[in-house]
Amino acid sequence: MKSASPLILLLFVSVLLTSCDKKAVLKVKGTGFDYNAVVSIFPTVNSSKPILVKSLKSEKQEYSLRLKKSGYGRVELNSNGNRSFWIYLGEGVQEINFDIKTRFDYPVTYSSSSEGQEIINFYQLEAKALQAVKDSLQLAKETLNKSTSETVVAAANNYNHWVELKDKQHYNIVKDFSQKYPNSLFTLIVIQDDNLLAQNGKDYLQLISRLPEEVRDSFVGKELIAQLSESLGREIGSKMAVVSGTDPQGNAFDAKILKKVNLFICWVSYDDTSRENNEALVALYKEYKDRDVEFIGVSLDKHKAWWTTVIKDDKLTWPQYSDLLHAKSPNFGRLCPQRLPYMFLTDKEGNILSQDLGVKNIELDLETYLAPKSGSIL
């Protein structure tokens, strides 16, 4: 799809208004597009069948389509570089101007709808707030690319510092936007985009509580409040939720298998990243399984055959559990966000020690929690 559609307009019109199909006329003016740019409009983010596919040119064009609801859509743009961003589409006539050469990261420079203009204002607010951080991040990236074996560790740490600082700024930007546009549902959308959503869960719940009732009680608002409330149960220091499901032999999860330190691996058999992680995890398990460490897999699969085949093929010898409910599994939300793979550590009592681990961070965290506590007698 990507090779055939350099500009992909993903519309998952998920919010608001009427349930009947509404005619929409989209007047697009583009500047700076590649000659082979294509715009594809999809009725939902997961739909594989677009409702409209057109070539996008650097001139005024008009498209007609039908929307079941007005709401927010997503644009994935591959024209002079890859970009992904939100837009708003509503019924009736709407004008949108794209400018690939704009100095802002967001290439929509004009929208005739107030909701669309709010999105533009958000991205401009974000660009100004992050300019200094982005300059430092770019410098850190260049330093890392030029680093030697003697300087690479320090350069990588410096680069990671600026990446984390950039992510932490997102909450403050959303907060400022929500104060300027308290009635905008886009506040809820950009909260969901936060890379540190789980870490900022309490702050975001407080922010949402100060929004108008019609925003809080919207479909997206209710779902986000539920998601954030569940994420608080995954905070460090919290007792982990009970694992739903059984092992391949039909035995339910028993907390008696927990050791001093436990790595819970939430995964799914058809996910490439999950499969790539397995190779590194197998090596780590061999190294730590006799050091009072247990690995525990929690699959979000639907088909038992797929799940058990990957367990065998990837040589996963640690305990594995699944309720085979896929997206309907209570393990989603309770143990992990709607994002896989996801890994976290617990102690023997099931208290969460660390969360959202990458494969490269696991060994360091394992050593940290296996080490004797300060002042203990060996």
Copy the structure tokens of residue 364. Answer: 């360091």
Report the pLDDT value the prediction gives residue 45, as an integer from 0 to 100.
52
Whether 5 has a pLDDT exceeding 70, the answer reads no
Whether 363 has a pLDDT exceeding 60, the answer reads yes
Per-residue pLDDT reduced to its tens digit, 26-45: 888 878 777 777 777 766 55
Whether 103 has a pLDDT exceeding 80, the answer reads no
Report the pLDDT value the prediction gives residue 198, as an integer from 0 to 100.
65
Report the pLDDT value the prediction gives residue 35, as an integer from 0 to 100.
74
User: Is position 172 within any domain?
Assistant: yes
If asked whether residues 287 and 354 sit together in one domain, one would say: yes
What's 302's domain CATH number? Answer: 3.40.30.10
If asked whether residues 189 and 290 sit together in one domain, one would say: no
Of residues 366 and 87, more confidently modeled: 366
Report the pLDDT value the prediction gives residue 95, as an integer from 0 to 100.
92
pLDDT band of 131, cuts 50, 70, 90: confident
pLDDT band of 291, cuts 50, 70, 90: very high
Of residues 6 and 159, more confidently modeled: 159
Q: What span, in angstroms and rounded, lies between the C-alpha atoms of 274 and 296?
A: 14
Report the pLDDT value the prediction gives residue 9, as an integer from 0 to 100.
35
Report the pLDDT value the prediction gives residue 12, as an integer from 0 to 100.
37
Q: Which is it for strands 82-89 and 7-11: parallel, antiparallel or unpaired?
A: unpaired
Full-model pTM = 0.60
Domain boundary among 68, 84, 112: 112
Q: Do residues 216 and 208 make contact, with C-beta atoms less than 8 angstroms apart?
A: yes
If asked whether residues 204 and 287 sit together in one domain, one would say: no
Per-residue pLDDT reduced to its tens digit, 45-61: 555 567 777 777 777 88
Average pLDDT over residues 10-19: 38
User: Is position 245 within any domain?
Assistant: no
Q: What span, in angstroms and rounded, lies between the C-alpha atoms of 229 and 207?
A: 13
Report the pLDDT value the prediction gives residue 331, as an integer from 0 to 100.
92
What's 53's domain CATH number? Answer: 2.60.40
Map the chain to HEC letters: CCCCCCEEEEECCCCCCCCCCEEEEEEEEEECCCCCCEEEEECCCCCCCCCEEEECCCCEEEEEEEECCCEEEEEEEECCCEEEEEEEECCEEEEEEEECCCCCCCCEEEECCHHHHHHHHHHHHHHHHHHHHHHHHHHHHHHHHCCCCCCHHHHHHHHHHHHHHHHHHHHHHHHHHHHHCCCCCHHHHHHHCCCCCCCCHHHHHHHHHCCCHHHHCCHHHHHHHHHHHHHHCCCCCCECCCCCCECCCCCECCHHHCCCEEEEEEECCCCHHHHHHHHHHHHHHHHHCCCCEEEEEEECCCCHHHHHHHHHHCCCCCCEEECCCHHHCCHHHHCECCCCCEEEEEECCCEEEECCCCHHHHHHHHHHHHCCCCCCCC
Supply the mean pLDDT for the chain: 84
Per-residue pLDDT reduced to its tens digit, 292-338: 999 999 999 999 999 999 999 999 999 999 999 998 998 988 898 87
User: Is position 175 within any domain?
Assistant: yes
Copy the structure tokens of residue 168. Answer: 């932490």
Whether 375 has a pLDDT exceeding 80, the answer reads no
pLDDT band of 10, cuts 50, 70, 90: very low
Domain boundary among 112, 128, 156: 112
Whether 352 has a pLDDT exceeding 70, the answer reads yes
Average pLDDT over residues 252-272: 96
User: Is position 171 within any domain?
Assistant: yes
Of residues 306 and 170, more confidently modeled: 306
Domain boundary among 112, 136, 165: 112
Alpha carbon of 161 to those of 132, 166, 251, 271, 313: distances in Å? Answer: 14, 9, 44, 29, 38
Of residues 107 and 373, more confidently modeled: 107
User: Is position 177 within any domain?
Assistant: yes
Report the pLDDT value the prediction gives residue 43, as an integer from 0 to 100.
60
Structural domain harbouring 72: 7-112
Report the pLDDT value the prediction gives residue 20, as an integer from 0 to 100.
57
Average pLDDT over residues 73-96: 78
Report the pLDDT value the prediction gives residue 86, as an integer from 0 to 100.
84
Whether 231 has a pLDDT exceeding 60, the answer reads yes
Name the residue type at position 351: N
User: Is position 72 within any domain?
Assistant: yes
Whether 6 has a pLDDT exceeding 70, the answer reads no
Whether 205 has a pLDDT exceeding 70, the answer reads yes
Whether 7 has a pLDDT exceeding 80, the answer reads no
Average pLDDT over residues 219-247: 86
If asked whether residues 101 and 134 sit together in one domain, one would say: no
If asked whether residues 362 and 320 sit together in one domain, one would say: yes
Report the pLDDT value the prediction gives residue 87, as an integer from 0 to 100.
81
Q: What span, in angstroms and rounded, lies between the C-alpha atoms of 191 and 366?
A: 31
What percentage of the chain exceeds 70 in pLDDT?
88
Q: What span, in angstroms and rounded, lies between the C-alpha atoms of 160 and 361?
A: 13
Whether 1 has a pLDDT exceeding 50, the answer reads no
Name the residue type at position 86: W
Report the pLDDT value the prediction gives residue 337, as an integer from 0 to 100.
83
The number of folded domains in the chain is: 3
If asked whether residues 227 and 333 sit together in one domain, one would say: no
Report the pLDDT value the prediction gives residue 48, as an integer from 0 to 100.
59
Q: Cα-flanking dihedrals φ and ψ of residue 105, to 5°?
A: -65, -25
Copy the structure tokens of residue 230. Answer: 């569940």
